[in-house]
Amino acid sequence: MTTPQLAFGIDIGGSGMKAATVDLSTGELVTERYRIDTPQPATPEAMAAVVVDLVRHDEWTGTVGCAFPAVVRNGIVGSAANIDESWLDVDADKVFTEALGQDVHMINDADAAGLAEVRFGPEAARKGVVMMLTFGTGIGSGLFVDGVLVPNTELGHLELDGPDAEKRAAASARKRDDLSWAEWGKRVHRYLEHVEALFSPDLFIIGGGASKRTEKWLDQVDISTEIAVASMANNAGIVGAALIAP
Ligand code: BGC
């Protein structure tokens, strides 16, 4: 038997920071997923301390991949919709690498989730124009053309029925506005219909927390584009982060 190639991934979200060691040949988590609440305020220093705790918990000593809920270009944070504003223009690779004493590479969270689905998900994810959309605190997007990522699309911030589509159609909007799953599903339908008209993708992959409950709302979505539910549900961010670690 060959030794599995392992990597460590962290998925940073608005409410939790989750991590595990991942087998890169199968996409499976080989350690139990470990979660720590995202510190509030979620400043670089506070989050760096949690990153150190997550890595030490698994006794991981190598390079770390980290999915982050913002635009990240060459390690530098370029937006701050659902994170503390003090992150703007910060070199997150550097902050986390210095705190940890091990190399950390950052990637946008939806881009990471999409990478995981493209690698380990259905065959259809590797062909044509594929749009990963994650419904959680915000809406994240990852655009792939024949399996190649176009990084940092921010389609949660399309203007639709108000300034920011994610304010109405993210999973957090369901709780905030006290909506039934069906009512919220109608908002997602309207959002997907809009993105479909703008991009004509071959496939949408739905991820994020709300992808675990699709039986409650996906019947409200009536579009012609094929829809797949993320095959690794909420672990896609961790797995995608691990993929960029080595
Ligand atoms: C951020 C994106 C992120 C998404 C999901 C949005 O508010 O702007 O960068 O991917 O939330 O976390």
User: Domain with 60 in it: what CATH number?
Assistant: 3.30.420.40
State the Rg of the chain over Cα.
17
Burial bucket for residue 148 (CB in 10 Å: 0-12, 13-18, 19+): exposed
pLDDT recorded at residue 15 = 86
Q: What is the pTM of this model?
A: 0.96
Domain assignment present for 196: yes
- Same domain? For 71 and 13 the reply is yes
- Same domain? For 144 and 63 the reply is no
pLDDT recorded at residue 1 = 57
Q: Total structural domains in the chain?
A: 2
Domain assignment present for 119: no
Q: Residue 79 Cα, ligand 1 centroid: separation in angstroms?
A: 9
Domain region containing 201: 124-230
Domain assignment present for 13: yes
Q: Residue 167 Cα, ligand 1 centroid: separation in angstroms?
A: 11
Bridge-partner residues for 134, per DSSP? Answer: 140, 207
- Same domain? For 168 and 90 the reply is no
- Same domain? For 105 and 191 the reply is no
SS3 for 236?
helix
- Same domain? For 171 and 90 the reply is no
For atom 1 of ligand 1, the residue with the nearest CA is: 70
Query: Contact 125/228 with Cβ under 8 angstroms?
Result: yes
- Same domain? For 129 and 224 the reply is yes
Domain assignment present for 95: yes
pLDDT recorded at residue 2 = 64
- Same domain? For 137 and 210 the reply is yes
Q: Is the peptide bond before 41 cis (omega within 30 degrees of 0)?
A: yes
For atom 4 of ligand 1, the residue with the nearest CA is: 140
- Same domain? For 128 and 164 the reply is yes
* Number of neighbouring beta carbons within 10 Å of residue 14: 17
Q: Give the residue, out of 154, 191, 234, with the most ligand 1 atoms within 8 A of its beta carbon, to mutate for a pocket test.
A: 154
* Closest-lying ligand 1 atom to the alpha carbon of residue 152: 9
pLDDT in tens, the chain (246 residues): 566 799 999 999 988 999 999 999 999 999 999 999 999 999 999 999 999 999 999 999 999 999 999 999 999 999 998 889 999 999 999 999 999 999 999 999 999 999 999 999 999 999 999 999 999 989 999 999 999 999 999 999 999 988 899 999 999 999 999 999 999 999 999 999 999 999 999 999 999 988 889 999 999 999 999 999 998 878 999 999 999 998
Q: Residue 1 Cα, ligand 1 centroid: separation in angstroms?
A: 40
- The per-residue DSSP string of 131-191 comes to EEEEESSSEEEEEEETTEEETT--GGG--SSSS-HHHHHSHHHHHHTT--HHHHHHHHHHH
Kind of pairing, strands 34-37 and 16-23? antiparallel
